[in-house]
Amino acid sequence: MEELAQRTAVPAPAGAGHNWPRNHGIDLDLAWVLDQRINLSAAERRVATLPGRRTVKKDAQAAWLLKAVTCIDLTTLNGDDTTERVKRLCAKARQPVRQDILDALGMGDRGITTGAVCVYHRFVSTAVEALAGSGIPVAAVSTGFPAGLVPHDVKLREIEASVADGAREIDIVITREHVLSGNWQALYDEMRDFREACGDAHVKAILATGDLKTLRNVARASLVSMMAGADFIKTSTGKEGVNATLLVTLVMLRMIRAYQERTGIKVGYKPAGGISAAKDVLNYQFLMKEELGREWLEQDLFRIGASSLLADIERQLEHHASGAYSALHRHPIG
């Protein structure tokens, strides 16, 4: 908590900050889970018409994109990751946008950083060290990411190890089989164990929506994960055939809202994978604001799992600051 306060140089507007009560979960309510009905065509229409209903231009657009930067979980999750690669990423997380651009936008004193850095367990300690003093949390993907098919006790030990290394956020993957076979109790129990293993670290439940296929499955898995105590629900590992989409986002946000309606608890949302263009992330932000409200635009309740998105935002911001179109190589690599 203290660290977080430090890294937000200027207090975020009302509603931001980690001052929401944590989600401790509730008993599994099977009737509620099974009662979910999502009409695909209706959901598609909502998503399809949104870009025509909401847009931001000029200063507003720059502000929204900067806000998106503060919500990015800057991520590297590749087999060829190395210590040096992770350090480079952490440096980028500390200074995601060139200072001169921030200055030109009148945002130079806001201490803009990304929301977190997201790595495999092996690099947690490297990242924690590289980010020391920045207040930027390290998130570790866990529980046999991305397929989540290692033994359950191994998953729990992996979480504990990452927490011990200083990870403040754990991105777990659920066992898709539990969803596909309708074994909601097993999903709930698994998630409960993950939540407990995390201790004070926040847990993001990756549903791997691309594997779940139907929106009904996504809705049910979202609810069960929240009932079992997820602090965030997250779309994808980035490794499924289909990753974050506005469509699954709509459904997951509505489940977050339904959970809040019933429990009063605000659960966060993290789309991941496939969001690489500035104009795409704006649509996610619009959906957050429209479906959940202003509070969900801050990093406490919104994260974006992305690696190449930042580079496109940087170009847009430079264009806004200078009036001339930018190029990738004008911005430091992350």
Partner 1 sequence: MSVARFFDEMSYGPAPEADTEARQWLARHSGKFGHFINGTFVASASGKTFDSFEPATGTLLAKVALGGAEDVNAAVAAARKAQGPWAKLPGHARARHLYALARMIQRHARLIAVVEALDNGKPIRETRDIDIPLAARHFYHHAGWAQLQETEFADQVPVGVVGQVIPWNFPFLMLAWKVAPALALGNAVILKPAEFTPLTALLFAELASAAGLPPGVLNVVTGEGETGALIVEHEDIDKIAFTGSTEVGRLIREKTAGSGKSLTLELGGKSPFIVFDDADIDGAVEGVVDAIWFNQGQVCCAGSRLLVHEGVAPLFHERLKRRMATLRVGQPLDKAIDMAAIVAPVQLQRIEGLIAQGVAEGAALHQPKIELPKGGSFYPPSLLTNVQPTSIVATEEIFGPVAVSMTFRTPEEAIQLANHSRYGLAASVWSETIGLALHVAAKLAAGVVWVNATNLFDASSGFGGKRESGFGREGGREGCYEYLKPKAWLGRKLRPEPPRPAAKPAAGDFAMPALDRTAKLFIGGKQARPDGNYSRPVLSPKGKVIGEVGEGNRKDIRNAVVAARSASAWSSATAHNRAQILYYLAENLSARATEFADRIAAMTGASAASGKAEVEASIARLFSYGAWADKYEGSVHQPPLRGVALAMPEPQGVVGVICPPEAPLLALVSLVAPLIAVGNRVVAVPSEAHPLAATDFYSVLETSDVPAGVVNIVTGSAIDLATTLAAHNDVDALWAFGSPELSMLVEKLSVGNLKRTFVDYGKAIDWMDRSAAEGQAFLRRAVDVKNIWIPYGE
CA 57 to chain centre: 25
Catalytic residue among 270, 280, 300, 312: 270
Pairing of strands 72-75, 202-206: unpaired
What is the closest distance, in whole angstroms, from the C-beta atom of residue 320 to partner 1 in the complex?
Answer: 8
Residue choice 2, 31, 41, 327 for contact with partner 1 (CB under 8 A)? 41
What is the closest distance, in whole angstroms, from the C-beta atom of residue 222 to partner 1 in the complex?
Answer: 13
Residue choice 19, 21, 58, 84 for contact with partner 1 (CB under 8 A)? 58
- Beta-carbon contacts of 132 under 8 Å, excluding residues fewer than 6 positions away, are none
Which token pair is 63?
């502000």
Pattern of binders to partner 1 over 294-333, x per CB under 8 A?
x--x------------------------------------
Number of residues engaging partner 1 in binding (CB under 8 A): 41
Strand order of the β-sheet with 72-75 is: 268-270, 232-234, 202-206, 169-173, 138-141, 116-119, 72-75, 304-306
Pattern of binders to partner 1 over 5-24, x per CB under 8 A?
-------xx-----------
What is the closest distance, in whole angstroms, from the C-beta atom of residue 237 to partner 1 in the complex?
Answer: 23
For position 66 contacting partner 1 by CB under 8 A, the verdict is: yes
For position 71 contacting partner 1 by CB under 8 A, the verdict is: no
Is the CB of 62 or the CB of 118 nearer to partner 1?
62
Which token pair is 81?
């990751």
Helix (H) or strand (E) holding 89: helix 83-94
Phi, psi of 24 (to 5 degrees): -95, 0
Catalytic residue among 234, 266, 300, 312: 234
What is the closest distance, in whole angstroms, from the C-beta atom of residue 254 to partner 1 in the complex?
Answer: 5
Q: Which is it for the CA torsion 315, 288, 22, 201, positive or negative?
A: negative
Piece of the chain touching partner 1 by CB under 8 A; list 83-91, 136-144, 151-159, 287-295: 287-295
Residue choice 4, 26, 30, 63 for contact with partner 1 (CB under 8 A)? 63
Is the CB of 103 or the CB of 177 nearer to partner 1?
103
For position 254 contacting partner 1 by CB under 8 A, the verdict is: yes
CA distance 55 to 255: 24
C-beta atoms surrounding 54 within 10 Å: 14
Tell me if residue 270 is catalytic.
yes
CA distance 136 to 94: 8
- Beta-carbon contacts of 280 under 8 Å, excluding residues fewer than 6 positions away, are 309
For position 105 contacting partner 1 by CB under 8 A, the verdict is: yes
User: Of 250, 241, 187, which Cα lies nearest the Cα of 38?
Assistant: 250
Residue choice 89, 97, 107, 159 for contact with partner 1 (CB under 8 A)? 107
Tell me if residue 165 is catalytic.
no
What is the closest distance, in whole angstroms, from the C-beta atom of residue 98 to partner 1 in the complex?
Answer: 15
DSSP 124-183: HHHHHHHTTTT-PPEEEE-SSTTTT-S-HHHHHHHHHHHHHTT-SEEEEE--HHHHHTT-
Is the CB of 195 or the CB of 303 nearer to partner 1?
303
Tell me if residue 171 is catalytic.
yes
Catalytic residues: 171, 234, 270
Which residues sit at the interface with partner 1, rule CB under 8 A? 12-13, 37-46, 49, 52-64, 66-67, 104-107, 110, 214-216, 254, 289-290, 294, 297
